[in-house]
């Protein structure tokens, strides 16, 4: 024989209402009030100066003097790249001795601060 299924009442039915859902999840904390904006100090960026292989007239970023730059020649990527073809003739030291193969670096004559660089490559 088959028995009819009886429904069992386990208590009052609980349906979620919008007000009861808000009790389950806490509300977001209030947003902190932002402090008033402060004035940001102005920082001057160094001026970019187009320099060549010869001394130029410029204003030094470090000492703020109007100067004619001192030029020093330093090895760079072009110097090393040119040493490779010269190595075929056992003359790889030639590019390291001739300023035309080196980068020109400009410095302030008063404070020795860096002013600019002319790269060959």
Identity of the highest mean pLDDT range in 7-11, 34-38, 107-111: 107-111
For residue 70, the Cα-to-chain-centroid distance in whole angstroms is 29
Q: Which two tokens stand for residue 84?
A: 């490779």
Put simply, whether the predicted model's pTM sits higher than 0.75 gets the answer no
Measured from the Cβ of residue 114, the count of other Cβ atoms closer than 10 Å reads: 13
Half-sphere exposure (CA, 13 Å, Cβ side) for 108? Answer: 17
Percent of the chain whose predicted confidence (pLDDT) is above 90: 55
Cα–Cα distance for residue pair 114/60, rounded to 1 Å: 8
CA pair distance 37, 47, nearest whole angstrom: 29
Number of Cα atoms under 13 Å in the Cβ half of residue 53: 7
pLDDT digits (tens, 9 = 90+) for 51-71: 999 999 999 999 999 999 999
- Tell me the CB-side half-sphere exposure of residue 65, using CA atoms within 13 A: 11
What confidence score (pLDDT) does residue 23 get?
Answer: 59
Residue given tokens 């320099």 in the structure block: 51
Query: pLDDT-based confidence at 121, cuts 50/70/90?
Result: confident
Identify the H or E element spanning 18. helix 18-24
């Amino acid at each position: 024989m088959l028995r009819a299924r009886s429904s069992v009442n386990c208590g009052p039915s609980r349906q979620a209402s919008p007000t009861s859902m808000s009790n389950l999840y806490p509300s977001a904390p209030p947003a902190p009030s932002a402090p008033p904006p402060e004035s940001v100090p102005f920082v001057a960026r160094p001026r970019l100066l187009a320099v060549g292989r010869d001394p130029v007239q410029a204003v030094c970023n470090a000492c703020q003097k109007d100067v004619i730059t001192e030029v020093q020649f330093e090895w760079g990527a072009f110097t090393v790249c040119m040493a490779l073809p010269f190595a075929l003739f056992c003359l790889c030291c030639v590019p390291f001795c001739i300023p035309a193969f080196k980068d020109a670096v400009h410095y302030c004559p008063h404070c020795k601060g860096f002013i600019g660089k002319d790269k060959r490559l």
